[in-house]
Amino acid sequence: MIPVLLAAVILFIAVPRVWPTSTGDKISYSEFIAKVNSGQVKSVTIDKGSGTIHGTTTTGDKFTATGAGDRGVSAADETLLDQKNVDLKFSQPSSNWLLNWAGLLLPLVLIIGFFVWMQRRAAGQMGNVMSIGRSRAKAYSADKPSTTFADIAGYEGVKQEITEVVDFLRMPERFREIGARVPKGMLLVGPPGTGKTLFARAVAGEAGVGFLSVTGSDFMEMFVGVGASRVRDLFQQARKMGRAIIFIDEIDSIGRKRGAGLGGGHDEREQTLNQMLAEMDGFETSEGIVILAATNRPDILDPALLRPGRFDRQIVVPLPENTERLAILKVHSRDKRMGPDVDLEVMAKATPGMSGADLANLVNESALFAVRRASKQVERIDFENARDRVVMGARRESLVLTGEEKRATAIHEGGHAILTVVLPNADPLHKVTILPRGMALGVTWSLPEEKHTYSKEYFEDVICRAMGGRVAEKIVYGHLNSGAANDLEQATGIARRMVREWGMSERVGPMAWSGHQQVFLGEDLMTQGREFSDETARTIDDEVSRILHEQEARATELLTKHRAALESVAEALLDKETIDGAEVAGLVQASLGESVPGDAIPHRIVSADAHVIDIAPGADSTSDSPATLD
């Protein structure tokens, strides 16, 4: 604003001087002499600089005339003015000092301004270099409104765990009187999207103290020693605040196990971790500083970081259960205009395995679908469309299948669907479609029940179900194609884990070997080799092959018995493109020669070969699950 105001003042002073404003009517010199002869002119003022004549008539009107020469009027006309008793005056224009000095001062001002700009630029760069070791933590004062536990739906157990920290920061004297020691650090562990960062903000909001937030990657820089310097500065800021919370998000980026990689002891990340370990040991709980950290990879953290006295307590933030999912859906739906047919309880039951972020995305997608329909509220159809998009991917409208490809896809998905309804331990079938979604040409979608442990028979049914598409194509066409690549990958992965990790092979016995070694840890890269011998590896491969071949033979036997149902399901998919689990169960039941009363499909029926067909109640109106086969 200062340069703008300065320019306005300069223009206000200079413009009237350069372009003086004129008043009155403009007339020619001859008209001026005519007015003088007729006695209409009372007074005249002549500008000696420009020769302009400014006059006033006897009636009080003003006029301006162009003078004759530098003097404005000739000698004869001046005599005429004297004869007519016209008051004649001459004015000398004052010089414009601003314009006079502008030509001298402008080059000097430009030179001085250039040197000032260069000096500030150099000082800014030097300041950046000198401040590179300062912490980049964002500080939030206690008087600002913040998140509280009331803003977090569910997770009552987690809230109870961290309430002690809040009480200590609010009323530390209660703990000092009894001699209790509050943990110095608390590590929030859980899958991505479960709300670990949200819990940290809620703790700061509940405690009403200073809050310093930083991510693990903020400590790392290309210069040696910067990370350790930023750690020291971070703890100094916390000490100045008195009672404060330090929150380090994604701490695994600097807290990995030391000596685990290919780098030596002078690795910058290790020096940063060493400084953090020293700082955490350098203050007492009486200082009122509590460290919260979050990670979804606790297995790679250094043991010294997790020992008592540093991060004394690990709080697991798991995926939400059914009641918690319902509460989360209500939180994210409270600012949406919901239709009367939306049932969030059904949606919560049908979304096992979804995190809070997934549920928030589901609600937002449903609102977007409602906008596309030009609807004024979110209805059930919007939730169903959003569910399909989130779980199965967006529809690929541009992909057009030929008639033979479409029929092959129908046969493939029909094989998955038939096995899903006839296998006794399979998850309930929800929907089958041959509409291309995501990377798949078709999808068979099941709704798994909310379990925490799974039996050997369950995994065998999952593998058998995965073989359904490949086997169905082989039965109908007599040859195979590449459409079963993802199915085989899923089945092989489960079979290998059954043998190597879960001890579900009689021949291998109760032995387990990690199937997915983290290469970036580097622990076994140089020092250790494979955990088992070549003979054991051959046995593992034989057992994996046996499981896969047994379940393929089982799938062949079942689909051969239900060949008529397979054809019926394929025809229904070609006709409708999408059918639900109840309709598939009805087609299987009809193929067995049993009558189906109207459209009422029992939720549990038994086929001729004594396999249970289990369709979840309300399966045609429930929603998504991460368990899909394409």
* Tens digits of residue pLDDT in 218-245: 666 655 567 677 777 778 777 777 777 8
Highest mean pLDDT among 202-216, 248-262, 420-434: 420-434
Residue 99 confidence (pLDDT)? 62
User: Which residues are known to be catalytic?
Assistant: 413
Domain membership of residue 116 (yes or no) is: no
Closest CA relative to residue 245, chosen from 180, 148, 166, 303? 166
Q: Which residues pair with 311 in a beta bridge?
A: 185
Q: Tell me the residue type at 137.
A: A
Number of domains in the chain: 4
Instruction: Mark whether 479 and 521 lie in a shared domain.
Output: yes
Q: Which residues pair with 295 in a beta bridge?
A: 189
Instruction: Mark whether 362 and 265 lie in a shared domain.
Output: no
Residue 517 is inside which H or E element, if any?
Answer: none
Instruction: Mark whether 428 and 516 lie in a shared domain.
Output: yes
Highest mean pLDDT among 115-129, 253-267, 319-333: 319-333
Higher model confidence: residue 368 or residue 39?
368
Please say whether the beta carbons of 503 and 488 come within 8 A.
Answer: no
Instruction: Mark whether 445 and 525 lie in a shared domain.
Output: yes
Of 361, 392, 423, the position where a domain reaches its end is: 392
Residue 17 confidence (pLDDT)? 52
User: Per-residue pLDDT for 43 more than 80?
Assistant: yes
Tokens encoding 293: 């950290």
User: Per-residue pLDDT for 303 more than 50?
Assistant: yes
CA-CA-CA-CA torsion sign (318, 319, 322, 324): positive
User: Per-residue pLDDT for 549 more than 90?
Assistant: yes
Long-range contacts made by residues 306-309, C-beta under 8 angstroms, separation at least 24?
Answer: 306/187, 309/184, 309/280, 309/281
* Tens digits of residue pLDDT in 137-166: 555 554 454 677 777 777 777 877 777 777
| β-pair type (429-433, 578-580) | antiparallel
* Tens digits of residue pLDDT in 371-422: 988 888 888 888 888 887 877 777 776 677 777 888 888 889 889 999 998 8
User: Per-residue pLDDT for 277 more than 70?
Assistant: yes
Domain membership of residue 4 (yes or no) is: no
Confidence label for 272 from pLDDT (cuts 50, 70 and 90): confident
d(CA 224, CA 275): 13
Domain membership of residue 565 (yes or no) is: yes
Instruction: Mark whether 359 and 471 lie in a shared domain.
Output: no
Domain membership of residue 114 (yes or no) is: no
| Span of 161-175, 345-359, 516-530, 568-582 with lowest mean pLDDT | 516-530
| Span of 177-186, 255-264, 514-523 with lowest mean pLDDT | 514-523
Residue 524 confidence (pLDDT)? 45
Highest mean pLDDT among 92-106, 113-127, 170-184, 272-286: 170-184
Instruction: Mark whether 363 and 443 lie in a shared domain.
Output: no
Domain membership of residue 111 (yes or no) is: no
Domain residue limits at 149: 138-316
Instruction: Mark whether 291 and 376 lie in a shared domain.
Output: no
Q: What is the mean pLDDT of residues 199-223?
A: 73
Instruction: Mark whether 567 and 463 lie in a shared domain.
Output: yes
User: Per-residue pLDDT for 22 more than 70?
Assistant: no
Instruction: Mark whether 288 and 332 lie in a shared domain.
Output: no
Higher model confidence: residue 83 or residue 596?
83
The CATH number given to whatever domain includes residue 340 is 1.10.8.60
The CATH number given to whatever domain includes residue 164 is 3.40.50.300
* Tens digits of residue pLDDT in 446-504: 877 777 788 899 999 999 999 998 899 898 888 888 878 888 999 999 999 999 888 89
Tokens encoding 562: 């239900």
Domain membership of residue 99 (yes or no) is: no
Higher model confidence: residue 227 or residue 432?
432
* Tens digits of residue pLDDT in 170-191: 777 777 788 777 777 888 888 8
Residue 555 confidence (pLDDT)? 92
Tokens encoding 212: 């310093």
Confidence label for 523 from pLDDT (cuts 50, 70 and 90): very low
Closest CA relative to residue 630, chosen from 433, 357, 479, 480? 433
Residue 622 confidence (pLDDT)? 30
The span from the first CA to the last CA of the chain, in angstroms, equals 64
User: Per-residue pLDDT for 445 more than 70?
Assistant: yes
User: Per-residue pLDDT for 86 more than 60?
Assistant: yes
The CATH number given to whatever domain includes residue 86 is 3.30.720.210
For the chain, the residue count is 630
Instruction: Mark whether 414 and 382 lie in a shared domain.
Output: no
* Tens digits of residue pLDDT in 560-614: 988 888 888 988 888 888 888 888 888 888 877 654 444 433 333 333 333 333 3
User: Per-residue pLDDT for 15 more than 70?
Assistant: no
Of 362, 392, 422, the position where a domain reaches its end is: 392
Across 505-525, b (16+ Cβ under 10 Å) vs e yields: beebeeeeeeeeeeeeebeee
φ/ψ (deg, to 5) at 378: -85, 125
Residue 404 confidence (pLDDT)? 82
Mean pLDDT, the chain, whole residue set: 75
Instruction: Mark whether 71 and 206 lie in a shared domain.
Output: no
Domain membership of residue 5 (yes or no) is: no
User: Per-residue pLDDT for 300 more than 90?
Assistant: no
Write the burial class of residue 248 (CB in 10 Å: 0-12 exposed, 13-18 middle, 19+ buried): buried
Residue 124 confidence (pLDDT)? 55
Of 286, 316, 346, the position where a domain reaches its end is: 316
Higher model confidence: residue 152 or residue 134?
152
**Angle (CA) 93 98 100, round 5°:** 75
Higher model confidence: residue 515 or residue 189?
189
The rounded percent of the chain whose pLDDT value lies above 70 is 76
Instruction: Mark whether 570 and 553 lie in a shared domain.
Output: yes
Higher model confidence: residue 403 or residue 558?
558
Output the CA–CA distances (angstroms, integers) from residue 270 to 265, 277, 296, in the order listed.
7, 10, 20
How many C-beta neighbours within 10 Å does residue 34 have?
A: 13
Residue 74 confidence (pLDDT)? 72
User: Any idea what DSSP says for residue 441?
Assistant: S
Higher model confidence: residue 630 or residue 299?
299
Residue 375 confidence (pLDDT)? 86
Confidence label for 94 from pLDDT (cuts 50, 70 and 90): low
Tokens encoding 23: 């008043």
Tokens encoding 414: 């029909």
The rounded percent of the chain whose pLDDT value lies above 90 is 7
Domain membership of residue 605 (yes or no) is: yes
User: Any idea what DSSP says for residue 93?
Assistant: P
In sequence order, which ranges of 211-343 are alpha helices (DSSP H)?
226-240, 268-281, 303-306, 322-333
The CATH number given to whatever domain includes residue 561 is 1.20.58.760
Closest CA relative to residue 466, chosen from 448, 488, 447? 488
Residue 24 confidence (pLDDT)? 65
